[in-house]
Amino acid sequence: MTTHDPVLGRDERLGALHGYRVLDTPPERGFDDVVTLATQLCDMPVALVSLVDRRRQWFKARVGFEPCETDLDSSVCRHALGTAEILEIDDLTADPRTRDNPLVTGEPYIRFYAGAPLNTAEGLTLGTLCVIDTVPRPGGLTAPQRVGLRALANQVMAQLDLRRAVTQRDDSMREREADRQVALTEAARLETMIATQQAVAAAEADLGSVFQAVVDGALRVVDAADGAVVELRDGDDLVYDTVSGTSARHKGIRLPVGRTLSGKAVLAERPMHCADTEADPSMNHALAIGLGIRSMVVVPVTRRGEPIGALKVQSAKADAFSPRDVVMMQMLAGLVASAVSDVAEVKSQRALRQAEVRYRQTFESVTEFGVVVTDRDGTVTDWNAGAERIFGWTAEEIRGTDAERFFTPEDRAIDRIGAEMRASLRGGSAVDERWHLRKDGSRFYASGNMMPLRDDDGEHLGFIKIVRDRTEQHLAGLQLDETRRALEGSEAKWRGLFQNLQEGFVLGRVVRDADGRIVDWRYEEVNRAWADLVGIEPTTVVGRTVREVIPGVEDEWVNEFADVVKTGTAIRFTRQVGSLQRWYDGVAQAVGGDRFTVIFLETTERVLAERRREALRELGDALLDLDDPDAISGAAAAILGRALGVGWVGYGVVEADGETFVVPADWTADGYPSLAGTYRMDDYGGYAEDLRQGRTVVIPDIRLDPRTAGNTGPLEGVAVRSLVNLPIVERGRTVAILYVNDDHPREWTDAEVEFLRDAAGRTRAGVERRRAAKALAESQAVTVASETKWRSLFETLQEGFGLGTVVRDAGGRIVDWRYDEVNAAWGRLVGVDAGSLVGRTVREVFPGIEDEWVEGLGGVVDTGEARPFTGRVGILGRFYEGVAQPRGPETFTTIFVDVTERVERERRQDALLRLGDALRTLTDRQAITEAAAECLASGIEASRTGFASFDGTTDVADVLADRCAPGVPSVVGRHRLRDFGTHVDALKAGGTIAVDDVGTDPRTASGVGALRAIKVEAFLNLPVIDRGEFAALVFVNQDRPYAWSRDELEFVRQVGDRAQAAVARIAAEERRVLMNQELAHRLKNNLALVSSIVTQTLRSAPDMGSARKTLSDRIQTLSKAHDVLMTGRRDAAAVREVIRSAVTLHDDGDRLRLKGPKVGLGPRAALTLALICHELATNAGKYGALSAAGGHVDVSWSVAADPETRRPVLTFEWREVGGPPVTPPDRKSFGTRLIEMGLSGTTGGTAALDYASDGLRCRITASLAELQAEDEIEARD
């Protein structure tokens, strides 16, 4: 630098800059977008985000400037430091601060500079957002450019603050995790130490076991150790007596006491630590290498105060051990010393005392963590110094009290401590983070870990909880979240619509090769729906091409979009992405340049459903055409395999033993081996029992399903990874299985399983029908009525068919009947597995079924006559129609079909007919709404129906009447509709609202509590529109989630159309009556006005010719004024249009100049003003400004408040310019008198004519409210 700048070198400023940790980081889009906007806003070639360091300026983002940094001699930005205003230098060559700057005197020869300072909240300037030009700009930036540049600079600081906040959050989270790991490590060490103590105590007088427990425990307590050894002194040697880990291979070696670190520790009777044997000159390097030791800790072991050996841990790594490890080793060495006491009891007592002392030392030495010990009931029994520091209670104050004492009231209310105890007993520990209480009542946020304490026999003694204060970190995290939400809010506003689209959206740009051919396209933007529909994380695709994102994607996905860009013509497409196995339907269109947009939906289910329907149709044809049962099975397998795109499909028979499965033949895709053969079902997993029980088996991945995961070999041996098995059940036994296999994991959809179930049933029916037919032909000579024929017909009926036996009470009265046989259709029609019915009674299967279904059907055995029936099973909510007929003394048969849809359709048709009859005679809107509600109640079974009036100004619905099911409360009264969700605007627009589940529908998310309070879980809302406004509401409620059917929605639409038509009919009749009254009134007024004009014109005209022309012009003006009225509202016309219509005959080239605001007039005032303007224009054409070639007329009007009344007053002014000299007339004509009358009839109105020599002037004032008022029809008539 050539000059000293005190602001530039301030430690506070540099500290703040370095605190953002942004210098020398890669480019980021958020900053790059800002400089791009700055160049466009200010129309400059260069824009920089410049950060000024101690000896350089570095550019976080740049446009139009190649270097990423310069020295400060080349910096203009440094002159902006320490100011809050934009620094502008119009000509850098003329300013003494910059004229010698190398970037001014040399390339790139910059001439203009404007920099907005980047100031922190503390007022420290980090640098600038600047724009630069290569030509001087004498005027500098415009005011809007300065405002925009400041706003962009604020955005840069917001980005920097967000970036720093995210960095601090990440640091905080890493620190929190490190602290948590330390706490867990300490807890684990304490547990291990306790476990080692217990192991030593259990060994009693067995020193070998004691030593082994200690060295094993040392490896667990001291994580860094890879070997441990107890060395016992034997004369002048130390012997490796008990070993563990890497020390195990050296058991029994003898080392001189004076040559090893262990010997030195024994002789000095103190612990010793070597951090690096290679760097320590006192070490025997060759011996250390031979023993695999790079670092170690040695603690002497004593007996009765005399050293007898050493406990050592070692590591093959340098600097492996900490002072904490030395403390732990001293505790372990104490265990060894305790174990070698002469008397077993003394040894045991001493070991326990020493362990307790060391445990207590460790317990009390930990002050960073609070350690709380309780008994099994949660009563505090011990409390270390760390707990005193954190909570505020001393150990004496807290012992004997319930640990709930330091839990918050809300946690005590839910027994939080009990939950932690139970969790720790189940899993060994319970980790949590929550608020706790201090002695002074204040709260702090803590991380905690609770573990159970057990004795030597494993009996549960109590709990230990380790707590650390994390309040500062928690509050910092909350503040970070709040800052991030505020910064993200602005972006969310413009991105909300884009991201909330249900359709996938893509903005793409084509990629061209060297010859200009389009060979790929790149993603520039995608929304969340795109990710949901494609199954790829959206953050990974922006900037990449479609061929990179979806390798092997079909060329059509590139070529068709290329045609859109080249031709500019939008296309619609339906196509599959093969590698994703998904189909999409959408529209692509060009947006300019090489860019295009795509909006689309996934149609995979629709395409696959069509494919499955086509497969079922093809299967139906095959069942009709083929006679051989095996051929039917093969054809069905091939059709299913192609429809689902799987590897194998087969149909096999289960032998009578229920174990053997025989596949005579199967279908396989190209390259897949056949699985035809005989198999033992239990060899392939635990799902064999499911098949024997008649349960469909669906396994997306055999490695994950518990029924197969234990032994996947048999299935993977034939390349099977996923499967669906559909059992065919007859007479309660699985007799056949349709299987579908694939060689990769696959999520089978419900639609696919249902498709297979349907196809399996059809195939089985077809096979059995053919077999039955074949058996029938073979056995027809023996018996015509064979069981096979009966069974085949019985099972293939689409109607429900069953055989039942009546159940009588002691008096012989029929009280129930039992299912003896039912076909598959019976089960489908009543929604119960047919195989579960046989042997059970109808009252057992359908508890609470109406007596008529028992007595009516079973009663045919007593009457001996068939009985047709149509009725409703209440528990099922379904209608059935059929015939019951006797078969024997106590048995009967029933055949029936489900007619629910027909019955409900007929009921709705009847309701619509009744509604139509009622609407033809109703003339009251409320009565129409009530009739619509009554119709809906008749046509739809609901928990509540009703109707309400609606006030659009307050969004309040007044429920006038409702019908409620038992247990459902009435809602008669006033309700604010917005309390129930966000669908009010849709109702105002005339849309019917159907909600299946208020708990999941986004339109009711804000009102689900209010809806459930009145027992509404699903609803239909039908608006009634009157004169374009939402005036009334018809509603249908359900007290459970309910999927409204297409028929119900169509019924509601028809009710709405009829009610709307009736309301429109009433409104049309009201308009007709009003129009007739208005026409009569206006005709009377116009006749009176014409009569007055004729009388006055004839009275003042010099001759009949003049009278005829004047009268014609005035009546034509009156007609045009009426035209103006009729083009506006019924009761108002615009001032401009009234004047224009009156003067058109006299204006031959914009010589009448009109100026004034948009103001409406009532009918009478509009006609009067038109006649005044016509008279003024006629006089101007004869004698005034319009009679001269260069003359013109200025016509103006304005509205202002009256100084006294503060009411609005209209002022009209006519001023002629450039005409001949003006002289007052000798007499007043009718036109003059009409003008001087002004807009008569208004309170305080004035009219004045000024015959100034340079041109006539007319000024009229009148009350605007009175001018705009409509004459009351009754008063006029």
Closest CA to 385 of 360, 355, 408: 360
Task: Give the confidence band of 5 by pLDDT, cuts at 50, 70, 90.
Answer: low
The architecture of the domain spanning 370-469 is 2-Layer Sandwich (3.30)
For 254, half-sphere exposure in the C-beta direction (CA atoms, 13 angstrom radius) is: 6
pLDDT exceeds 50 at position 446: yes
Q: Are 699 and 705 in contact, with CB atoms under 8 Å apart?
A: yes
Residue 340 CA to residue 347 CA, distance in Å, equals 7
> Would you state the pLDDT for residue 344?
41
Instruction: List, for residues 1215-1231, the tens digit of each pLDDT value.
Output: 999 999 888 888 777 67
Q: What is the DSSP letter of 840?
A: S
Burial of 247 (0-12, 13-18, 19+ CB in 10 A): buried
pLDDT exceeds 70 at position 495: no
Residue 883 CA to residue 892 CA, distance in Å, equals 10
For 452, half-sphere exposure in the C-beta direction (CA atoms, 13 angstrom radius) is: 19
The CA-atom distances, in angstroms, between 1168 and each of 860, 1122, 1162, 1203 are 92, 11, 10, 26
> Would you state the pLDDT for residue 64?
92
Q: Are 788 and 772 in contact, with CB atoms under 8 Å apart?
A: yes
Task: Give the confidence band of 314 by pLDDT, cuts at 50, 70, 90.
Answer: very high
**Rounded mean pLDDT, 303-331:** 88
**From 189-203, 1009-1023, 1075-1089, the region with the lowest mean pLDDT:** 1075-1089
> Would you state the pLDDT for residue 3?
46
- What φ, ψ does residue 84 adopt, rounded to 5°? -100, -5
Tokens standing for 439? Answer: 């002695």
pLDDT exceeds 80 at position 481: no
> Would you state the pLDDT for residue 1095?
64
Helix (H, G, I), strand (E, B) or coil at 20: coil
User: Is 2.60.40.1930 the CATH classification of the domain at 11-169?
Assistant: no
In whole numbers, what is the pLDDT of the chain averaged over residues?
Answer: 83
The amino acid at 1083: L
Q: Which CATH class is domain 204-365?
A: alpha beta
Residues above pLDDT 90, as percent of the chain: 33
Instruction: List, for residues 957-999, the tens digit of each pLDDT value.
Output: 998 878 898 899 999 999 999 999 998 999 988 888 999 999 9
pLDDT exceeds 60 at position 351: no
pLDDT exceeds 90 at position 539: no
Task: Give the confidence band of 346 by pLDDT, cuts at 50, 70, 90.
Answer: very low
Write the CB contacts of 107 (distance below 8 Å, at least 6 apart in sequence).
Answer: none
Residue 58 CA to residue 61 CA, distance in Å, equals 9
Q: What is the dihedral of CA 694, 695, 700, 704, to 10 degrees?
A: -100
Residue spans in the chain of domains classed CATH 3.30.565.10: 1101-1276
Instruction: List, for residues 401-443, the tens digit of each pLDDT value.
Output: 998 888 999 999 999 989 989 988 888 888 888 899 999 999 9
In degrees, rounded to 5, the angle at the alpha carbon of residue 601 between the alpha carbons of residues 600 and 606 is: 140
CATH number of 903-1071: 3.30.450.40
CATH fold of 1101-1276 reads Heat Shock Protein 90 (3.30.565)
Task: Give the confidence band of 110 by pLDDT, cuts at 50, 70, 90.
Answer: very high
Q: Are 452 and 194 in contact, with CB atoms under 8 Å apart?
A: no
503-602: which CATH number, 3.30.750.200, 3.40.50.170, 3.30.470.20, 3.30.450.20?
3.30.450.20
Residue spans in the chain of domains classed CATH 3.30.450.40: 11-169, 204-365, 607-779, 903-1071
Q: Are 873 and 850 in contact, with CB atoms under 8 Å apart?
A: yes
Cis peptide before 1225 (omega within 30 of 0): no
> Would you state the pLDDT for residue 1148?
66
Residue 708 CA to residue 721 CA, distance in Å, equals 10
> Would you state the pLDDT for residue 93?
94
> Would you state the pLDDT for residue 358?
47
- Tokens 């023993």 -> residue: 291
Q: Is 894 left (phi over 0), alpha (psi -120 to 50) or beta?
A: beta
pLDDT exceeds 60 at position 785: no
End-to-end C-alpha distance for the chain, whole angstroms: 96
pLDDT exceeds 70 at position 857: yes
**Rounded mean pLDDT, 492-518:** 78
Who wins on pLDDT, 1084 or 1191? 1191
**Rounded mean pLDDT, 587-606:** 87
- Tokens 């009334």 -> residue: 1032
The whole-angstrom distance between residue 898's C-alpha and the CA centroid of its chain comes to 40
- What φ, ψ does residue 998 adopt, rounded to 5°? -65, -20
**From 102-106, 134-138, 883-887, 1263-1267, the region with the lowest mean pLDDT:** 1263-1267
Tokens standing for 1093? Answer: 């004009």
- Regarding beta strands 460-469 and 666-668, do their DSSP bridges make them parallel or antiparallel, or are they unpaired? unpaired
Cβ count within 10 A of residue 388: 18
Residue 55 CA to residue 8 CA, distance in Å, equals 9
The architecture of the domain spanning 607-779 is 2-Layer Sandwich (3.30)
pLDDT exceeds 90 at position 722: yes
The CA-atom distances, in angstroms, between 295 and each of 285, 289, 329 are 12, 11, 14
> Would you state the pLDDT for residue 1123?
60
Instruction: List, for residues 914-935, the tens digit of each pLDDT value.
Output: 887 788 788 887 888 788 888 8
> Would you state the pLDDT for residue 792?
55
Residue 200 CA to residue 206 CA, distance in Å, equals 9
In degrees, rounded to 5, the angle at the alpha carbon of residue 446 between the alpha carbons of residues 443 and 451 is: 130
Who wins on pLDDT, 4 or 265? 265
- What φ, ψ does residue 114 adopt, rounded to 5°? -140, 125
- Regarding beta strands 677-680 and 722-730, do their DSSP bridges make them parallel or antiparallel, or are they unpaired? unpaired
Q: Which CATH class is domain 797-898?
A: alpha beta
Q: What is the DSSP letter of 281?
A: T
Residue 695 CA to residue 688 CA, distance in Å, equals 10
Instruction: List, for residues 556-583, the tens digit of each pLDDT value.
Output: 999 999 999 999 898 988 888 988 888 9
- What φ, ψ does residue 854 adopt, rounded to 5°? -85, -55
Burial readout 859-888 (b: 16 or more C-beta within 10 A, e: otherwise):
bbbbeeeebeeebbbeebebbbebebbbee
Q: What is the dihedral of CA 215, 221, 224, 230, to 10 degrees?
A: -20
Tokens standing for 293? Answer: 């030791």
The whole-angstrom distance between residue 450's C-alpha and the CA centroid of its chain comes to 36
Q: What is the dihedral of CA 1028, 1029, 1034, 1037, to 10 degrees?
A: 120
**From 247-261, 308-322, 330-344, the region with the lowest mean pLDDT:** 330-344
The whole-angstrom distance between residue 797's C-alpha and the CA centroid of its chain comes to 47
Closest CA to 788 of 802, 766, 803, 768: 768
